[in-house]
């Protein structure tokens, strides 16, 4: 038996179940957005003003590990906890001002920082210096949050010292 728009009961039930599942997903599952900075110097100044390091995720378009890091960890860290997190895209020609206010591209920054793996999360403190060990690659999901928390704690301690 066909119903609305030629769909059967089974198809309608399946569609309803899919819609319900989508509505039940946490907010980050829809896709967190991390801003691309105009000026790293300005972002860092704002972060330090509130006693936080500037967290920079270097990502690559289409990278599934980047999506997990952004949506599951860094997006919520920014949205829920107010941690200053921005994103630099490897291989992007988009302009950005670095910590010395020089105009560079996202790709040039990734190369300057010697980032070879996406995602790479960096933690910056005064003077645009890295203040914690980098978090490189897509670690096993169960441990990524712990690694991130440990690095963030290390970075916070370094900027308070």
> Which contiguous run of DSSP H or E holds residue 142?
helix 141-160
For the chain, the structural domain boundaries read 1-28, 31-160
Q: What is the mean pLDDT of each run of 10 residues along the chain (161 residues)?
A: 47 37 38 88 98 98 93 94 97 97 98 97 98 88 88 97 86
Q: Is 44 exposed, middle or buried (0-12, 13-18, 19+ CB in 10 A)?
A: buried
Q: The domain 31-160 belongs to what CATH superfamily?
A: Glutaredoxin (3.40.30.10)
The DSSP-derived string for 66-96 is HHHHIIIIIHHHHHHH---EEEEETT---EE
Residue 23, pLDDT score: 35
What is the pLDDT, as a whole number, of residue 139? Answer: 64
* pLDDT value, residue 18: 36
């Amino acid at each position: 038996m066909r119903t609305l728009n030629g769909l059967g009961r089974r198809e309608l039930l399946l569609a309803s179940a899919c819609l319900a599942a989508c509505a039940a997903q946490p907010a980050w599952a829809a896709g967190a957005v991390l801003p691309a900075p105009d000026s790293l110097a300005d972002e860092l100044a704002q972060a330090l003003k509130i006693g936080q390091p500037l967290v920079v995720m270097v990502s690559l378009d289409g990278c599934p590990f980047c999506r997990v890091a952004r949506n599951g960890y860094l997006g919520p860290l920014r949205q829920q906890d107010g941690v200053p997190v921005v994103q630099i895209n490897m291989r992007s020609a988009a302009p950005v001002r670095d910590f010395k206010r020089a105009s560079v591209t996202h790709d040039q920054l990734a190369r300057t920082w010697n980032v070879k793996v996406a995602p790479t999360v960096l933690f910056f403190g005064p003077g645009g210096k890295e203040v914690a060990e980098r978090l490189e690659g897509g670690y096993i999901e169960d441990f990524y949050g712990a690694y991130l928390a440990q690095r963030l704690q290390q970075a916070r301690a370094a900027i308070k010292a």
